[in-house]
């Protein structure tokens, strides 16, 4: 059969299967007219009507007449309550076990007159498929058996929910929330593919979302096992209907072999619909024969250009690239797997470069960055922001051409580092210095220069280069104020960045002023994202925490947590920042029992999001270590501290000042254990590292010196110990405030010193 003829047959078959049996003759007569061969083809397939079942999907044909079982009928250990619907291979009932009427199940049973050898093989195949799929987003197979008359049945999880498109519309989910919801579906599909199963009929009715917001993937009854040794059903027959044409891939409607790439295509169509309100290629407004032609021949519009679609600023270009790659006609040009597609969606949500843009200059820059050390993320961030900015300006063609030319000149200088015959050096400092020099070429483009400076400043801040960070962040803020004062959210983000540097360097007054101004601007700009607002709340809370205003800090942290939970869900990596902050506050308050579960949950989320090799884990490990030490478990504390130290050493390099935090913590442990030599080695390493960094106002030096003071006292050097302890305490009190954790600990060390030497220093004041 020719592909065009196959498409025509499949389209008419789909329409006939959704028509009540007594109305099908009239439908066929009207559709086929004088084409008797077409009518015979469709009628022969209708006689089989095997693989086209929509059993556990909705909508179903409620109340369809036909053989079945009345309420109260017992099937094995189950008692039928009511019929839920009928499909091509049987009926679905709501039922419960005789010994547990509180747990409702869906019981799927073959209709009596439909039983044939092929039907039985299909049914057993479905049971085999479902039995191997155990995933929180897939309706589970609970049981199975044969009736007394020899008819097979399956017992499945009964899903109380609504189709995913209806759920999104009724809850008025944001674009980001819809993407997060679909990522759960993608996880289920990736799991099924790993188990050699293709769904082949993805559509809104086959994805029900519960009241709690959990999507459940239904109906693997038409799925095909990829393992030829297990696919004994002959499910590769080209004219069966294992699909819904408007959501089917080109290879499906052409009757070609089906692979996981077909599910990727259908998932892309579903995602396109959820983000734009339309199916790609106008498939929701055309006839079925026209729909299958468009699937095979027409390219979809960019989602951001669909009438009525409003994609968030900064996401539109990346979402266009992701969906158009997923909807490529050729399977080999789509994503290699559902996992790769899901990862690109996550990267889009996180503001990172997406792989769908591979092959461009920006992509090659990203590839180079990923091959190098952690710090070279500077180059990748520059590339991402350049691409994002240019895309937002594409309606201004002439300006875009100028920006593109200048951006290429800047980025070419970075990419030259990958050429062993041209690069002068590959050290991180030289890369950042060269980047700074290259930015001079963008003097005539203040918008682009401001974007790149903001990224450069954040990278310097993360690397501990306080002076360079301040210079870049301050210039970015100044440029944005002068050229985009109406973009309040953009100004607020830059105020937050600069305030974070003030906070890190102990200038609480300056930090608080910037954070307050940023919060006011966010309140005037509805385009600000939940994450941007939450970061601002966290920053305000941290100032309160350092000043000892714990009640105010807790209220702000909890407000940020609520924002993130509502926007992203419990398992999102951004939620972990709120959990970690709240845990730190409760630890500072001395409520160790309440702090520990929050910190462990933050660690779990970050591990799931990043794996074990991301530096975001280190601060949580340090906090957990301090908490376990405070709760009398030094062995566990040392294990956590060493994990943080090893991680920082691997990812940041031997000279990074953040290593000093873990070394200082380990020195406190060694000192408490009486290992004075071990403590001295660690605290000297920490101090040397911090002093080499030469960070202005670095309070961590005074904090480490306070530990050194206790060590000197333990070694018997009483005079030097007193001097160091008092000096470090006074420095911390001035820079961090009397109520900060570091200052309180330093004061406790001074007090302990005088208590041990009461005879010589009885009653000596601390100031």
Q: What percent of the chain has pLDDT over 90?
A: 31
pTM, 2 dp: 0.46
Distance CA 600, CA 606 (A): 10
CA 71-73-75 angle, 5° bins:
130
Give the burial string for 565-580 (b: 16+ CB within 10 Å, else e).
Answer: bebbbeebbbbbbbbb
DSSP reduced 3-state for 629: helix
Dihedral angle, C-alpha 364, 365, 371, 375, nearest 10 °: -170
SS3 409: helix
Residue 685 to residues 138, 477, 675, 689, 692: CA-CA distances in angstroms?
52, 36, 16, 6, 11
Predicted pLDDT of residue 694: 74
Looking up tokens 């499910």 gives 235
Q: Which residues contact 470 (CB under 8 A, 6 or more apart)?
A: 457, 498, 501
**Token code pair at residue 716:** 């018997």
Q: Which residues of 313-335 are buried (b: 16+ CB within 10 A; e: fewer)?
A: ebbbbbbbbbbbbbbbeebeebb
Min mean pLDDT across 331-335, 353-357, 417-421, 487-491 is at 417-421
C-alpha to C-alpha distance for 317 and 344, rounded to whole angstroms: 13
- Rounded to the nearest 10 degrees, how much is the dihedral formed by the CA atoms of 633, 636, 642, 645? -70
Residues 386, 413: contact at Cβ < 8 Å? no
Rounded CA-CA distance 367/351 in Å is: 17
Residue pLDDT, tens place only, 583-636: 999 998 889 999 999 999 999 999 988 888 888 899 999 999 999 999 999 999
What's the pLDDT score for residue 640?
95
pLDDT of residue 121: 60
Residue 684 is predicted with a pLDDT of 95
636: its two tokens: 């566990």
Alpha-carbon span 356 to 334, nearest angstrom? 9
What is the tally of helices (H) and strands (E) in the chain?
31, 11
pLDDT tens across 384-402, in order?
Answer: 444 454 444 454 444 555 5
Tokens of residue 670, six digits: 């060694």
Residues 6+ apart with CB under 8 A from 52: 13, 14, 17, 88, 222, 240, 241, 242
Name the pairing type of β-strands 141-146 and 100-110.
Answer: unpaired
pLDDT at 223: 53
Mean pLDDT of the chain: 78
Give catalytic residues, as residue numbers.
201
Average pLDDT over residues 711-725: 93
Please list, in sequence order, all residues whose beta carbon lies within 8 angstroms of the beta carbon of residue 617, skipping any fewer than 6 positions away. Answer: 603, 606, 607, 610, 643, 644, 647
Helix ranges (DSSP H) in 611-675: 617-630, 634-652, 659-672
In DSSP terms, which residues pair with 91 in a beta bridge?
86, 109
Report, as an integer, the average pLDDT of 309-313.
70
Helix axes 699-714, 676-693, angle to 10 degrees: 160
Task: Supply the CATH classification number for the domain 161-358.
Answer: 1.10.510.10
Look at strands 161-163 and 78-86 and give their pairing: unpaired
Residue (of 130, 51, 116) closest to 87 by Cα position: 51
Task: Pick 723 or 287 by higher pLDDT.
Answer: 723
β-sheet bridge partners, residue 93 = 83, 107
Return the top range by mean pLDDT from 120-129, 236-245, 269-278, 418-427: 269-278
Peptide bond into 59 cis (omega under 30): yes
Report the pLDDT value the prediction gives residue 11, as an integer from 0 to 100. 66
Domain ranges for the chain:
3-48, 161-358, 696-767
Distance CA(406)–CA(448), nearest Å, equals: 10
**pLDDT tens figures, 4-40:** 566 567 667 767 766 777 778 888 887 777 778 888 8
- Confidence check: pLDDT of 365 > 50: no
Checking phi first, is residue 196 left (phi over 0); if not, alpha (psi -120 to 50) or beta?
Answer: left
Q: What is the pLDDT of residue 232?
A: 39
Instruction: Render pLDDT for 148-191 as a digit per residue (tens, 0 to 9).
Output: 777 778 888 888 899 999 999 999 999 999 999 999 999 999 88
DSSP β-ladder status, 197-198 and 141-146: unpaired
């Amino acid at each position: 059969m020719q592909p065009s003829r196959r498409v025509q047959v499949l389209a008419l078959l789909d329409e006939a299967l959704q028509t009540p049996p007594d109305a099908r003759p009239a439908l066929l007569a009207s559709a086929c007219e004088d084409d008797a061969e077409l009518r015979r083809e469709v009628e022969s397939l209708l006689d089989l009507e095997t693989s086209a079942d929509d059993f556990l999907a909705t909508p179903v044909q409620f109340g369809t007449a036909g053989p079945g079982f009345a309420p109260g009928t017992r099937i094995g250990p189950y008692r039928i309550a009511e019929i839920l619907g009928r499909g091509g291979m049987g009926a679905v009932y709501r039922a419960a076990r005789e010994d547990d009427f509180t747990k409702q199940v869906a019981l799927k049973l073959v209709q009596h007159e439909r039983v044939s050898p092929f039907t039985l093989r299909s049914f057993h195949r479905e049971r085999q498929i479902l039995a191997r799929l155990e995933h929180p987003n897939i309706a589970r197979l609970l049981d199975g058996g044969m009736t007394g008359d020899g008819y097979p049945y399956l017992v499945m999880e009964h899903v109380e929910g609504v189709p995913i498109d209806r759920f999104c519309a009724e809850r008025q989910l944001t674009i980001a929330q819809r993407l997060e919801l679909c990522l759960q579906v993608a996880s289920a599909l990736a799991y099924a593919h790993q188990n050699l199963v293709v769904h082949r009929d993805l559509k809104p009715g086959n994805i029900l979302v519960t009241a709690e917001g959990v999507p459940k993937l239904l109906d693997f009854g038409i799925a095909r096992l990829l393992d030829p040794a297990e696919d004994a059903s002959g499910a590769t027959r080209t004219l069966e209907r294992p699909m819904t044409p408007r959501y089917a891939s080109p290879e499906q409607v052409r009757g070609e072999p089906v692979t996981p790439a077909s599910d990727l295509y259908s998932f892309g169509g579903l995602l396109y619909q959820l983000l734009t309100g339309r199916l790609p290629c106008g498939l929701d407004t055309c006839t079925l024969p026209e729909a299958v032609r468009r699937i095979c021949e027409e390219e979809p519009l960019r989602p951001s250009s669909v009438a009525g679609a409003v994609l968030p600023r900064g996401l539109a270009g990346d979402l266009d690239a992701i969906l158009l790659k997923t909807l490529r006609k050729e399977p080999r040009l789509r994503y290699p797997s559902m996992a790769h597609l899901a990862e690109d969606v996550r990267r889009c949500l996180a503001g990172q470069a997406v792989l769908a843009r591979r092959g461009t200059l920006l992509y090659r820059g990203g590839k180079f960055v990923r091959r190098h050390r952690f710090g070279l993320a500077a180059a990748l961030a520059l590339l991402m922001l350049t691409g994002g900015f240019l895309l937002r300006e594409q309606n201004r063609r002439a300006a875009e051409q100028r920006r593109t030319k200048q951006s290429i000149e800047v980025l070419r200088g970075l990419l030259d580092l990958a050429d062993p015959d041209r690069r002068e050096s590959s050290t991180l400092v030289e890369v950042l210095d060269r980047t700074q020099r290259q930015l001079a070429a963008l003097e005539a483009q203040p918008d682009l220069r401001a974007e790149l400076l903001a990224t450069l400043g954040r990278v310097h801040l993360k690397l501990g280069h306080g002076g360079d960070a301040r210079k870049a962040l301050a210039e970015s803020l100044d440029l944005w104020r002068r050229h985009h004062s109406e973009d309040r959210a953009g100004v607020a983000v830059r105020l937050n960045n600069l305030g974070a540097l003030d906070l890190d360097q102990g200038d609480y007054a300056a930090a608080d002023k910037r954070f307050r101004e940023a919060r006011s601007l966010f309140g005037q700009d509805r385009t600000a994202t939940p994450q941007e607002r939450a970061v601002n709340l966290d920053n305000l809370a941290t100032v309160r925490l350092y000043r000892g205003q714990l009640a105010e800090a807790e209220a702000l942290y909890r407000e940020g947590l609520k924002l993130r939970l509502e926007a992203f869900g419990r398992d999102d990596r951004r939620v972990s920042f709120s959990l970690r902050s709240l845990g730190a506050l409760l630890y500072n308050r001395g409520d160790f029992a309440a702090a520990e579960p929050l910190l462990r949950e933050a660690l779990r989320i970050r591990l799931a999001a990043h794996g074990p090799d991301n530096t975001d884990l280190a601060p949580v490990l340090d906090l957990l270590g301090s908490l376990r030490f405070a709760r009398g478990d030094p062995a566990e504390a040392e294990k956590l501290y060493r994990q943080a130290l090893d991680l920082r050493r691997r990812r940041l390099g031997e000279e990074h000042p953040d290593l000093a935090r873990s070394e200082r913590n380990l020195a406190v442990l060694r000192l408490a254990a009486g290992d004075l030599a071990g403590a001295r080695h660690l605290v000297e390493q920490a101090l040397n590292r911090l002093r080499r960094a030469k960070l202005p106002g670095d309070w961590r030096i005074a904090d480490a010196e306070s530990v050194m003071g206790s060590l000197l006292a333990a070694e018997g050097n009483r005079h030097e110990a007193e001097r160091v302890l008092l000096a470090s305490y006074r420095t911390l009190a001035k820079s961090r405030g009397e109520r900060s954790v570091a200052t309180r600990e330093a004061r406790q060390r001074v007090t302990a010193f005088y208590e041990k030497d009461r005879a010589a220093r009885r009653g000596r004041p601390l100031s």
